[in-house]
């Protein structure tokens, strides 16, 4: 679905922190989208709250370890990826520059509620539960998929095969919730529960899978396919071929007190969809399968 050209530092086995070192197997420069044609839209910019407009920047909370959505360039410092390109384009439409803060996925909503950041963008699913705390401008459609060791030695063909096996997920993610539900289903069927490993590190999860400590990783579809095609030049992992589980939208998180900012971002996104910039960004990162045609707030 999403073949890529490099192995990023996030895939280096044994690293404790994401983006700290480049993989020696990395041989190609990662792609980036040409955003030079994106210009400020004065009507949309007028919707931006004055304190954000005067600062000239949009503070973006992210969890920068999920290629192709967001990850670090070879310098270990520069965020890049499909989401990074898209939020840069949205910010440019609003006369702003995007400024990323890297943080644990589980702290993103709290950081938004406490106004440490203006928005969040980290492959976060827009769910009814999360909508009780924040609003979402939906920008992409994805779902959960299962990644296993190359050759699938544990024979994982679908969710029911996870019963009694080790499964790694990210803390606070939709994958964690699904794994817990699947574990309950296993027990109801008289099978062993899922042996869940919950971490804040995609790299750590990949370490566990490659060394056999877990049988599978649950992750979003773009990330799983990207990792499977790039880690070890495609020799470490593979994605189980089945439709995405619990497919749904990714959303840019916005504080509920910032309704006008949500409208501004929605308008900027729709403008990018209409003028083809959105399509070019997704094409650059080979994720057109998740494209949307209409920008919405909380799916409406």
Peptide bond into 122 cis (omega under 30): no
Beta bridge partners of residue 134, listed in sequence order: 255
- CA 46 – CA 30 distance, rounded (Å): 35
* Lowest-pLDDT choice from 142-146, 241-245, 280-284: 241-245
- CA angle (289, 292, 294) in 5-degree steps: 170
- CA angle (143, 80, 75) in 5-degree steps: 135
pLDDT of residue 15: 27
- CA 194 – CA 183 distance, rounded (Å): 5
Q: Phi, psi (5° rounding) for residue 262?
A: -60, -45
79 is written with which tokens?
């965020």
Mean pLDDT of 257-283: 97
What domains can be seen in the chain, in order of their start residue? 38-142+248-293 (3.40.190.10), 144-245 (3.40.190.10)
- CA 278 – CA 53 distance, rounded (Å): 23
5 is written with which tokens?
């050209």
Strands 245-255, 119-120: pairing is antiparallel
Tell me: the pLDDT tens digits for 113-172? 999 999 999 999 999 999 999 999 999 999 999 999 999 999 999 999 999 999 999 999
pLDDT of residue 29: 52
Burial letters 77-111, b for 16+ CB under 10 A, else e: eebbbbbbbbbbbbbbbbbbebbbebbebebbbeb
* SS3 category, 252: strand
- CA angle (100, 268, 51) in 5-degree steps: 55
182 is written with which tokens?
């699947």
Tell me: the pLDDT tens digits for 188-206? 999 999 999 999 998 999 9
- CA 108 – CA 55 distance, rounded (Å): 21
Burial letters 50-65, b for 16+ CB under 10 A, else e: eebbeeeebbbbbbbb
Tell me: the pLDDT tens digits for 10-51? 333 222 223 222 232 333 456 778 899 999 999 999 999 999
Beta bridge partners of residue 168, listed in sequence order: 197, 217
The kind and range of the H/E element at 222 are helix 221-230
pLDDT of residue 66: 86
Tell me: the pLDDT tens digits for 45-79? 999 999 999 999 999 999 998 889 999 999 999 99
* Contact residues for 17 (Cβ-Cβ < 8 A; gap 6+): none
Strands 134-149, 79-80: pairing is unpaired
Q: What percent of the chain has pLDDT over 70?
A: 90
pLDDT of residue 65: 87
pLDDT of residue 287: 85
């Amino acid at each position: 679905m999403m073949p890529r050209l490099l192995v990023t530092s996030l895939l280096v086995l044994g690293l404790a922190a994401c983006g700290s070192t480049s993989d020696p197997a990395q041989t190609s420069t990662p792609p980036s989208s040409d955003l030079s044609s994106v210009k400020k839209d004065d009507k949309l910019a007028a919707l931006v709250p004055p304190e954000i407009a005067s600062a000239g920047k949009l503070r973006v909370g992210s969890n920068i370890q999920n290629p192709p959505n967001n990850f670090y360039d070879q310098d270990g410092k520069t965020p890049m990826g499909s989401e990074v390109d898209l939020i840069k384009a949205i910010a440019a439409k609003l006369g702003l520059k995007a400024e990323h803060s890297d943080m644990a996925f589980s702290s993103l909503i709290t950081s938004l509620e406490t106004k440490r950041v203006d928005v969040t963008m980290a492959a976060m699913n827009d769910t009814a539960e999360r909508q009780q705390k924040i609003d979402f401008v939906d920008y992409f459609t994805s779902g959960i998929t299962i990644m296993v060791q190359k050759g699938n030695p544990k024979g994982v063909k679908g969710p029911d095969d996870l019963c009694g096996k080790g499964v790694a997920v990210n803390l606070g993610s939709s994958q964690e919730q699904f794994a817990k539900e699947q574990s309950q289903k296993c027990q109801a069927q008289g099978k062993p529960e899922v042996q869940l490993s919950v971490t804040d590190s995609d790299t750590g999860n990949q370490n566990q899978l490659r060394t056999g400590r877990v049988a599978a990783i649950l992750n979003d579809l773009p990330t799983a396919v990207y990792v499977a095609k790039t880690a070890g030049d495609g020799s470490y992992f593979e994605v189980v071929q089945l439709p995405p589980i619990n497919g749904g939208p990714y959303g840019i998180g916005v504080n509920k007190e910032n309704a006008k900012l949500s409208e501004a971002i929605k308008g900027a996104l729709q403008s990018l969809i209409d003028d083809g910039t959105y399509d070019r960004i997704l094409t650059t990162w080979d994720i057109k399968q998740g494209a949307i045609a209409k920008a919405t707030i909380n799916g409406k």
